Chain A
């Protein structure tokens, strides 16, 4: 058991090393530049004299939306492209023979590869989150400076209790938004969705004959996963004269393909609404169950594959 785990870890670490040495992480440099660039651009659009809280509310909201959106998008491409070429590349280069000729089970090989991509995606999300945090901190500084500049136009702003209170309130508002602990919840949910995408791509790649097939099919499943809840609402809950086979098809699809749309709860967090941790944990549990099932099916298919 322990040696099995060790082999999975060795293969996982090797997969991560490969990605790092092939400069996959350079993508993150582009991410950081885009994030910082957009953040600066938005703050330059600010017109002095506007209500400070309202203005910075919009700016911070933009940076949060943009940051989380970019983490999800860049993470999606890293997860999908890295996973799609895992097995085809091993087969093409015949490195898979050298590994499977050692005392390594096929399931260990597959789980090791998956573990490697999970590490890679985790590393990427962590680094992108750091850049995101830096961009938010920069926004906070800008906001505080601008707020002070607006209030300091009145010479009595320190002594006047009403002004001082209003100032403190505005400062609190800015800090509350930029240091929102719910953002951690949002990033964890994005991560769970990325790992689910990885597991889907891995499953497809166990029987696919090319990376392109894996990429396109995973992308389709990802889209269906986003649309299925709408379809389900329309055909099932809405009772819009759905025939049995229509209802059956929608039910079958929603069982087969994970509901990606439920992760759009991240948008609620970004809009400033409270999403309880229990709900987020439920969603992560849902993702975990799907991931375990997807991995189990992947192992079964891969065990029978001719290599």
Chain B
């Protein structure tokens, strides 16, 4: 008689020795797009894929979606083969620089993708209302997508990725070409999705944003994963401590602090007083929002 061992909850996404090579027949060479990738992403995690162009991030996403077939290794989504319909039902995808059917308007686009996922009738219409609200595309509902700005296309792309309420989201450069305010909104949306218990795997070149939302990151280079870990473990400098005080310290105050820290056994030569910097993004957002700008204007592409 067979006895079944207790099964651990599957990873949201898992790759084992995942490899993709493209033979360049004419040059008699082989392009290694991804080389033996081992990755384990837990449910509910926000995972950032970083790396220069052509480092294998998009290839990883396409392999995880079952859009391309690996040369070696395997990939699984919630323990399911990536090319199975069951796996795809649990996955939403926003491609890089998304381009949808320009002849459809916002509502029609979501209706089309919803029906493909088996969402129909009043449930679909309700879902469309929710998503239009979520991504802030009220003014794009009746407009054909060919008149959308890049930011609007990214947002309709996010909405279509979410139409069937997937558990895992793949976002390929979700903030590429979007203005800082729109980009901040997408970041906030990722945070909301995380709170809803979704797993998000995304690639981005905006390192600061990745830092703000990702639990863990992997850095790719030339088709290989060269670094992986939680931001906490990767970014904290354990050899130093920063103290923030809400005042501009005078020379005298600084000297007294040095003395106090010296008494605590810290060499006063190593103590530095600096003023914290705002990031340019923080400055931009503060300034624009102070002007009462409610968000992206959804202006057509010029």
Contact = CB atoms under 8 A, between A and B. Distances in A.
A interface, by DSSP: helix, strand, loop or mixed?
A: helix
Contacts of A22: 103
B93 interface: yes
B67 A102 contact: no
Nearest to A109: B116
B99 A93 contact: yes
A97 B115 contact: no
28 contacts: A3-B118, A7-B116, A10-B112, A10-B115, A11-B116, A14-B101, A17-B104, A18-B103, A22-B103, A93-B99, A95-B99, A95-B100, A95-B101, A97-B62, A98-B93, A98-B95, A98-B100, A98-B113, A98-B160, A101-B88, A101-B93, A101-B170, A102-B113, A103-B118, A104-B88, A105-B85, A306-B69, A307-B67
Interface string A2-37: 010011001100100110011000000000000000
A94 B67 contact: no
Interface in B49-105: 62, 65, 67-69, 85-86, 88-89, 91-93, 95, 97-101, 103-104
B117 A102 contact: yes
Interface in B98-149: 98-101, 103-104, 112-113, 115-118
Contacts of A3: 118
A1 B92 CA distance: 23
Contacts of A11: 116
| A10, A21, A98, A306, most chain B CB atoms within 10 A | A98
A220 interface: no
Interface in A65-110: 93-95, 97-105
Nearest to A97: B95
B117 A103 contact: yes
B88 A6 contact: no
Given A10-B115, A103-B88, A18 B67 contact: no
Contacts of B91: 101
Contacts of A99: 116
Given A14-B101, A93-B99, 7 more contacts: A10-B115, A95-B99, A97-B93, A100-B65, A101-B93, A103-B86, A104-B116
A100 B170 CA distance: 14
How big is chain B's contact interface, by range?
A: 20 to 34
A7 B85 CA distance: 12
Nearest to A108: B116
A41 to B, nearest CB: 37
Interface string B34-50: 00000000000000000
A307 B63 CA distance: 11
A19 to B, nearest CB: 9
Interface residues of A, number: 24
Contacts of A98: 93, 95, 98, 100, 113, 157, 160
B95 A100 contact: no
A23 to B, nearest CB: 10
Contacts of B68: 306-307
A22 B103 CA distance: 8
A103 B89 CA distance: 6
A25 to B, nearest CB: 14
Contacts of A306: 22, 68-69
Contacts of B95: 94, 97-98, 101
Contacts of B100: 95, 98
A21 B93 contact: no
A94 B99 contact: yes
Contacts of B65: 97, 100-101
A68 to B, nearest CB: 32
A3 B117 CA distance: 9
B78 to A, nearest CB: 14
A3 B86 CA distance: 13
A307 B98 CA distance: 16
Going nearest first, the 4 A-B pairs with the smallest beta carbon separation are: A101-B93, A21-B103, A103-B88, A103-B85
B67 A100 contact: yes
Contacts of B157: 98
A94 B95 CA distance: 8
Contacts of B22: 306
Contacts of A94: 95, 97-99
A290 B22 CA distance: 34
Nearest to A21: B103
B1 to A, nearest CB: 35
Contacts of B117: 102-103
A246 B34 CA distance: 49
A225 to B, nearest CB: 32
Contacts of A307: 67-68
A100 B93 CA distance: 10
A247 to B, nearest CB: 36
B118 A18 contact: no
B116 A103 contact: yes
B101 A18 contact: yes
Interface in A88-139: 93-95, 97-105
